[in-house]
Amino acid sequence: MRKQAVLITGASGEVGQALIRALAEDEHKRLLTLDIRPLPADLRAQVDPVEGDLLDERLLARLVSEYEIDVIYHLAALLSTRSEFTPDMAHRVNVEGTLNLLKVAAEQTEWRGRAVQFLFPSSIAIYGMPDRESKELYQRVREWEWNQPRTMYGCNKLYCELLGSYFSQNYRQLAARQPLMLDFRCVRFPGLISAFTLPAGGTSDYGPEMLHAAAQGKPYGCFVRAEARIPFMAMPDAVHALVQLAQAPRSSLSRLVYNVTSFSLSAEEIRRRVLEAFPNAQITFEPDRPREAIIDSWPADLDDSAARRDWGWSPHYDAERAFNDYLIPEIKKRYHDVQATQG
Ligand code: AKB
């Protein structure tokens, strides 16, 4: 008899680890986690951890033979900067990996006669503001505006949104009998900042990197100019958005893809908040112009009114609360513990 489970891919990543901690509180849910990297030891006992490659279709077939998958949180991805150095691998992981999983979800939906729910985190990277003037003029971008990504990662994410819509609405549309469709739901995240983990290979990483470097007493050269501005979100709100969207009645959703955001800050405004907490921090601006150009192509802010209207989205952490109640206290504790153990 197969075990019912919630599948989390990319489980060892930043969002994955935060999502496991949130979902593991509900002991009625069995969590099946998949990542090419090992799961941190403190999380392994709470889940069924699997180390493997999303591109390995035989592995996916084995998992489906052992588990009845109700919900998929598909978090595995190569982020924007890393994807620029390995665009072919980014396409394989971000697109082919997602397609493999959508096919599994579609087959399982048909097989069990009930829609598998597929939660997909997209990104502000799917937007492409053509120049700084447009970014300044059109600050709060709506879901259907400026969908011209500049990066391979942004192209991957936008195409996967379209794949998810296809598998949710038109899959096998010419077949003699219309199959039951999977339940694809997507949020477009801004830059995410965690107190507990550091991102790897993203272009919005300068926000968390600046904070974590200051907390460790390390100098930090920010790779965008002081005025560069994009929307950000504290990691607890990213998990909150995914879980809240998953719990929304399908009938309340007017769209499959939603913007969500919490606060927009310039790099200088982040620096000021970091210096308030770490007055001795050495933070300089040393723009890497190609990486800065990617940030300049992303919108200054997102219009998340559709998510607020359809499923009651509202961030728990605005900038004040994110820094004062979550990031600074938790990061101070994290590095104090680290320094204490290192002596
Ligand atoms: C990245 O910088 O690539 C990600 C993102 C904004 O999706 N953090």
The whole model's pTM is what?
Answer: 0.96
Over residues 11-26, the mean pLDDT reads 95
How would you classify residue 88: left for phi > 0, otherwise alpha for psi between -120 and 50, otherwise beta? alpha
| Separation of CA 78 and ligand 1 centre (Å) | 9
Alpha carbons 205 and 177: distance in angstroms, whole number: 47
* Mutation choice for ligand 1 from 85, 153, 242, CB with most ligand atoms inside 8 A: 153
- Lining ligand 1 with CB less than 6 A are 79-80, 123-125, 153, 189, 191-192, 199, 202-204
* Mutation choice for ligand 1 from 82, 83, 123, 264, CB with most ligand atoms inside 8 A: 123
Over residues 91-106, the mean pLDDT reads 98
* Mutation choice for ligand 1 from 14, 15, 80, CB with most ligand atoms inside 8 A: 80
Q: Of all residues in the chain, what percent carry a pLDDT higher than 70?
A: 98
Beta-bridge partners for 73: 8, 119
The whole-number pLDDT of residue 315 equals: 98
The whole-number pLDDT of residue 341 equals: 58
Alpha-helical runs (H) found in the chain: 14-23, 41-44, 57-66, 80-85, 87-90, 97-112, 132-137, 152-169, 206-215, 235-247, 267-277, 289-297, 305-311, 319-321, 328-342
Alpha carbons 227 and 106: distance in angstroms, whole number: 45
- Which residues participate in catalysis according to the annotation? 153
Q: Whose CA is nearest to atom 6 of ligand 1?
A: 191
Alpha carbons 19 and 10: distance in angstroms, whole number: 11
Over residues 318-335, the mean pLDDT reads 97
Contact 252, 310 (CB under 8 A): yes
Q: Which band of pLDDT confidence, cut at 50, 70 and 90, is reported for residue 27?
A: confident
Q: Is the pLDDT of residue 312 over 90?
A: yes
Q: Tell me how many degrees the CA angle 278-17-273 measures, rounded to the nearest 5.
A: 20
| Separation of CA 123 and ligand 1 centre (Å) | 7
User: What are the DSSP calls for 178-224, one per residue?
Assistant: PPPPPEEEEEEE-EEE-SS---SS-STTHHHHHHHHHHTT--EEESS
Over residues 254-268, the mean pLDDT reads 98
Q: Which band of pLDDT confidence, cut at 50, 70 and 90, is reported for residue 342?
A: low
Two tokens at 71?
């919900």
The whole-number pLDDT of residue 1 equals: 87
Q: What are phi and psi of 160, to 5 degrees?
A: -65, -30
Q: Whose CA is nearest to atom 4 of ligand 1?
A: 202
Alpha carbons 338 and 67: distance in angstroms, whole number: 38
Pairing of strands 229-234, 263-266: antiparallel
Tell me: the pLDDT tens digits for 184-242?
999 999 999 999 999 889 999 999 999 999 999 999 999 999 999 999 999 999 999 99
Q: Whose CA is nearest to atom 1 of ligand 1?
A: 202
Which domains does the chain carry? 77-342 (3.40.50.720)
Mean pLDDT of the chain: 96
